[in-house]
């Protein structure tokens, strides 16, 4: 059994949605394009899951946030795909790929062949088990990557109202979920190994601002440590799951027999015991590359592509979280885990496929952002080199520049206007020479506006 298409997009997330829109804009015939996704719904704006989806009042629900509403473009509902003759193969996992034969084999046993493949498989959440801690299958332990996870998180959160949540991880998921939990009247303790939150991006000073705000909202921080185990309650009995697998199996035997086990306490490495009605885990991701290992060149944990988003096999492209691409601005290959890069890399790949003569190399300015409570920040470029803070850290508008080898390479701004964000983006892209760092500090945001 099999079907053949000219173009196949493997994965049905953000990048797939934006690629589909680009294909239709450039003109494809009916039944030329197929999207295969493990998720049961058409591509949607994943960032909504840790923001609007978790609101207690008028939460965002599909179909309202299908791609491409995130950039104020068309909302691609299942009907849209049908009208454009795009085959949406949903709730279907691809279990193997053969790039030599140009075929994909689905878990349902169908072989789908392509002329051109776009890999848009994104990433999966890292599991606690990968750090030697068991318990991910407990009823009140939540991860957040897809709509199913988010729906489950909402249910657990609602039943924990007035209770305690322990948030494991101080990155994006940890910070955004902690804010949502507070808004939903759940008491939050955040636990992470670093000295401050958002350690991959924030400076200690920037992190301090957000941590103070979170503390004012009642969030407790336990830093510099990790969890070592969960105490669980299964069938009315308390069990302690240690790193040991056998013990875990015993603890979750109830779960295997259909009796769910529930985490009651989080035990930290220093022995601290935190009572928990629920746990949210955000400890990073791994790109979904496994189907292509040994077939395509990998780099930086992702699938290596050139400036056209083309992999080591000329019929195969990779975009979004899974792609490691050359960032011209830095002169090196990077893999980014952010929505803007997923959207733009997808569009670029389609442009390169449909109009190779007119499509140059992807010239991308890395852009990250987040919104929590009433705060909102944007970051452009790279956070390497000397840090120059500016603005009023006791007020609502402040930021930082990163100066590397005498050039401005990164800019962060909290509480900016649309024009101010555009200004820091433009300035960062231009990489102006910075002769006097003290002067840059004095000028602050005005520097970016005047570039």
> Which positions touch ligand NAD (CB under 6 A)?
50, 131, 168-174, 176, 192-194, 199-200, 226, 282-285, 337-338, 368, 370
Nearer to ligand FDA, 104 or 252 (CB): 104
Nearer to ligand NAD, 130 or 332 (CB): 130
Nearer to ligand FDA, 158 or 238 (CB): 158
Nearer to ligand FDA, 94 or 186 (CB): 94
Q: Which of 99, 339, 352, 448 binds ligand FDA (CB under 6 A)?
A: 339
Residues 74-103 that bind ligand FDA (CB under 6 A): 93-94
Q: E strands within 235-297?
A: 237-241, 261-268, 273-275, 278-281, 285-287
Check if the beta carbon of residue 119 is closer than 8 Å to that of residue 104: no
Q: Which does 168 bind (CB under 5 to 8 A by kind): ligand FDA, ligand NAD, none?
A: ligand NAD
Which token pair is 157? 């959160």
The C-alpha atoms of residue 371 and residue 397 are separated, in whole angstroms, by 14
Give the residue at shortest CB distance from ligand FDA. 13
193 three-class SS: coil
Q: Is 200 in the site for ligand FDA (CB under 6 A)?
A: no
The residue assigned the tokens 């890069």 is 341
Q: Which does 174 bind (CB under 5 to 8 A by kind): ligand NAD, ligand FDA, none?
A: ligand NAD
Nearest to 53 by CA among 138, 171, 142: 142
Q: Which stretch binds ligand FDA (CB under 6 A): 58-66, 259-267, 315-323, 348-356?
A: 315-323
Q: Which of 12, 174, 410, 416 binds ligand FDA (CB under 6 A)?
A: 12
Check if the beta carbon of residue 120 is closer than 8 Å to that of residue 10: yes
Region of residue 92 (left: phi > 0; alpha: psi -120 to 50; beta: else): beta
Which token pair is 311? 């992999």
The C-alpha atoms of residue 321 and residue 333 are separated, in whole angstroms, by 13
Q: Which of 22, 211, 231, 340 binds ligand FDA (CB under 6 A)?
A: 340
Check if the beta carbon of residue 257 is closer than 8 Å to that of residue 204: no
Radius of gyration of the chain (CA): 23
Nearer to ligand FDA, 51 or 248 (CB): 51
Q: Is the preceding omega at residue 272 within 30 degrees of 0, hence cis? A: no
Nearer to ligand FDA, 6 or 41 (CB): 41
Which parts of this chain interact with ligand FDA (CB under 6 A)?
11-16, 36-39, 46-47, 49-50, 93-94, 120-123, 144-145, 288, 291, 320-322, 337-340, 342, 368-370
């Amino acid at each position: 059994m099999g079907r053949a298409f000219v173009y196949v997009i493997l994965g049905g997330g953000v990048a797939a949605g934006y690629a589909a829109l680009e294909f239709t804009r450039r003109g494809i015939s009916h039944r030329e394009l197929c999207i295969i996704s493990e998720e049961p719904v058409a591509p949607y704006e994943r960032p909504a899951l840790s923001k609007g989806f978790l609101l207690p009042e008028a939460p965002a629900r599909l179909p309202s946030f299908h791609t491409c509403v995130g950039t104020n473009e068309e909302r691609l509902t299942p009907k849209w795909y049908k009208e454009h003759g795009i085959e949406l193969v949903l709730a279907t996992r691809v279990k193997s790929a053969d790039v030599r034969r140009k075929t994909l084999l689905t878990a349902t046993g169908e072989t789908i062949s392509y002329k051109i493949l776009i890999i848009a498989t994104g990433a999966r959440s890292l599991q606690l088990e990968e750090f030697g801690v068991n318990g991910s299958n407990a009823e009140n332990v939540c991860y957040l990557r897809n709509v199913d996870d988010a729906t489950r998180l909402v249910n657990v959160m609602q039943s924990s109202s007035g209770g305690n949540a322990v948030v494991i991880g101080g990155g994006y998921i940890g910070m955004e979920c902690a804010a949502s939990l507070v808004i939903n009247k759940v008491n939050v303790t955040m636990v992470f190994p670093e000295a401050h939150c958002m350690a991959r991006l924030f400076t200690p000073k920037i992190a301090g601002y957000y941590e103070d705000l979170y503390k004012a909202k009642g969030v407790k921080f336990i830093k510099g440590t990790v969890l070592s185990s969960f105490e669980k309650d299964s069938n009315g009995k308390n069990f302690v799951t240690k790193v040991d697998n056998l013990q875990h199996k015993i603890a979750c035997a109830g779960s295997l027999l259909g009796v769910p086990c529930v985490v009651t306490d989080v035990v930290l490495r220093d022995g601290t015991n935190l009572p928990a009605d629920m746990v949210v885990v955000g400890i990073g991701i791994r790109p979904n590359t496994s189907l292509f290992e040994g077939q395509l060149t990998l780099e930086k944990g992702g699938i290596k592509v050139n400036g056209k988003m083309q992999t080591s096999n000329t019929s195969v492209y990779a975009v979004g979280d899974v792609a490691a691409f050359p960032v011209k601005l830095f002169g090196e290959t990077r893999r980014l885990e952010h929505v803007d890069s997923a959207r733009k890399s997808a569009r670029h790949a389609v442009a390169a496929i449909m109009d190779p003569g007119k499509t140059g190399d992807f010239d991308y300015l890395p852009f990250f952002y987040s919104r929590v409570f009433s705060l909102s920040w944007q970051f452009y470029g790279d956070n390497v080199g000397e840090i120059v803070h500016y603005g009023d850290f006791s007020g609502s508008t402040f930021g930082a520049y990163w100066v590397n080898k005498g050039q401005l390479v990164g800019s962060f701004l909290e509480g900016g206007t649309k024009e101010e964000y555009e200004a820091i983006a433009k300035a960062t892209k231009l990489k102006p020479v910075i002769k006097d760092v003290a002067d840059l500090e004095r000028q602050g945001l005005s520097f970016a506006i005047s570039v």
